[in-house]
Structure 1
Amino acid sequence: MNITTRMRNLFRIKTNRALDRFDDPRESLDDSYDRQVDLLAQLRRGLADVTTARKRIELQGQELGARYDRLGDQAQEAMDQGREDLARTALERRSGLEQEITALRGQFDSLQRQEANLLENERRMTARVAAFRTQKETLKASYTASAAQVKANESVAGLSGDLNGVGRSIDQAKDKVLQMQARAAATDELIARGVVQDHTASPDEDLDHMLAKGRSATDIERQLAAMREQRKRGAVTGGSGWLGIGREPSGESQPTT
């Protein structure tokens, strides 16, 4: 694999990673979940505001109801005292207060219905967000596992593609080893034949080598002469086994039995 191919593969990998991040469905799922959570939070804040308003009207209604009852008691007490004028005043105020309480009760009922609707919507949305969260995590886990499998397969495919280059490297290394071994054998042979001088050897080693070859030839001639002499005498040597190998012949004939 040349440098151009490697650069092209690296660029493709980086581009694919950037596109994967851009099109990653896990991020889209998280964004959708975050938007739903924000909407649920807004719904809960609205519910809290309505509940607060209803509670404020309820307290105001309780206060007006207490005043309504007190005006009734005052009108009764004025009548007991023979003060009809005071009783009429108390009843007039009580009548005006009754209209105010009626209007306030209408607002209270409206807020109570709105609160009930918001509570139901909050319950449904909470369940929907919880279900979406479970589905989101399941999809994200499946996508992560699939992405890991794809990367593993791509790694295996890339490795199998590189095996051809590895095989070629091994073959080249084997060829170089064989060439070096052949060269070493050739130089050994040339040194042995004296064509190439071994600079690591002693100055007179070549003479020792030639003398050793002469001694070997002389020893072979001696052994041949001994075998001719034994053949003439008809004697057979043996019996000494390996202990007799390399020893000088005694020259004495062994008695026959």
Structure 2
Amino acid sequence: MGLLSRASYVLRSKFNALLNRAEDPTETLDYSYEQMRDELKDVERGLADLVAQKKRLEVQRERLEKNVEKHNEQAREAMRQDREDLARRALEKKQQKLDQIEEMEEQIASLESTQHDLEEKKGQLQDRIERFRTKKETMKARYEAAEAQTRVSEAMTGVGDEMADVGRAIERAEERTDDMEARAAAMDELTDRGVLEDQLSDEDAIDRELSQGRSNREVEAELETLRSESGQSSKRSETASEASADEAEAEEAVEADVDEAAVEAELEELREEEADADETS
């Protein structure tokens, strides 16, 4: 395949693909339907012209038939006047008119046959157009339903052209946002390290480091304060625990003393009861 042939093939392929994308089946069906209706109108116009031509021939035939009668009368009148030569001329004209009438009758018969064929074809074309119209409306309804379903499905799944554009826009926005965030972080890092100076600030890198040192010392001081407060709280907790232990031991000792006194009292009562029993016996 030569270079020109390949180029022509590629161009035809591109053109066909473009036509396929641009083609709307509903418009194509409507156009085909209108074309068929135009053909029917052409048939109707042709049929009307044919009938008009047949009518003109019939009028001419009637006129010739009248001339035949006229020539008959002329021939009779000539014979009554003993003018055989005139009678012969009238009969010759009569024969010419009869020949013309015969030729016209053949033409009229041919036109009538053509008219009959056209009427049948017209009826068949009308039936075909009606069937096509019904099929056309059905196909249009199916196509529109499928197109709507496709649009909904593409919108739901995000595979349509518009949704693809939206997806690409979101991706570009995310990429640009990431770039801007990375650039901002880089600028902050370079500024903190003193590589870049803040043109709107009077502080230089040394001032920022000194300020950072003061901030660190303040933080350490606060931490030391918190440690001291935490240590005092621990000591108070230990003292409170020791006091609670001493109080518990004292309470236990008091309870023990009370229990021993009660036991001794009960023993004394038992001794007295035994002594009274011995005296009685």
Give the TM-score normalised by structure 1. 0.51
> How big is the alpha-carbon RMSD for the aligned residues of Structure 1 and Structure 2?
2.5
Change (3 A) 1:144 1:21: farther
Distance in 1 (alpha carbons) for counterparts of 2:89 and 2:137: 70
The equivalent residue for 2:213 is none
The aligned runs of 1:80-119 (5 Å cut-off) are: 80-119=80-119
Distance in 2 (alpha carbons) for counterparts of 1:124 and 1:70: 46
Deviation digits for residues 67-126 of structure 1 (CA, Å, limit 9, x no counterpart):
111211222233334333322221111011111111121111111111111111111111
The aligned runs of 1:1-257 (5 Å cut-off) are: 22-158=22-158
Distance in 1 (alpha carbons) for counterparts of 2:156 and 2:20: 20
Amino acid at match of 2:24: D
Distance in 1 (alpha carbons) for counterparts of 2:152 and 2:20: 16
Distance in 1 (alpha carbons) for counterparts of 2:77 and 2:135: 70
- Unmatched runs of 5 consecutive residues or more in structure 1: 1-17, 166-257
Deviation digits for residues 131-161 of structure 1 (CA, Å, limit 9, x no counterpart):
11111011101111121122222233349x9
- Cα deviation for residue 129 of structure 1 reads 0.8
Distance in 2 (alpha carbons) for counterparts of 1:86 and 1:20: 81
Of all paired residues, the percent bearing the same amino acid is 39
Deviation digits for residues 207-233 of structure 1 (CA, Å, limit 9, x no counterpart):
xxxxxxxxxxxxxxxxxxxxxxxxxxx
Deviation digits for residues 174-227 of structure 1 (CA, Å, limit 9, x no counterpart):
xxxxxxxxxxxxxxxxxxxxxxxxxxxxxxxxxxxxxxxxxxxxxxxxxxxxxx
Amino acid at match of 1:155: A
Structure number with greater CO (CA < 8 Å, separation at least 6) is 1
Distance in 2 (alpha carbons) for counterparts of 1:146 and 1:83: 92
Where 2:100 maps in the other structure, the secondary structure is helix
Distance in 1 (alpha carbons) for counterparts of 2:138 and 2:37: 18
Where 2:119 maps in the other structure, the secondary structure is helix
More helix by share: 2
The equivalent residue for 1:254 is none
- Cα deviation for residue 46 of structure 1 reads 1.4
Farther off after superposition, 56-65 or 20-29: 20-29
Count how many residue pairs are aligned between Structure 1 and Structure 2. Answer: 145
Structure of greater Rg: 2
The equivalent residue for 1:221 is none
Distance in 2 (alpha carbons) for counterparts of 1:19 and 1:93: 69
Distance in 2 (alpha carbons) for counterparts of 1:111 and 1:85: 39
Where 1:82 maps in the other structure, the secondary structure is coil
Distance in 2 (alpha carbons) for counterparts of 1:20 and 1:137: 21
Distance in 2 (alpha carbons) for counterparts of 1:96 and 1:105: 14
- Unmatched runs of 5 consecutive residues or more in structure 2: 1-17, 171-281
Where 1:70 maps in the other structure, the secondary structure is helix
Distance in 1 (alpha carbons) for counterparts of 2:52 and 2:19: 49
Where 2:82 maps in the other structure, the secondary structure is coil
Amino acid at match of 1:100: Q
Amino acid at match of 2:46: G
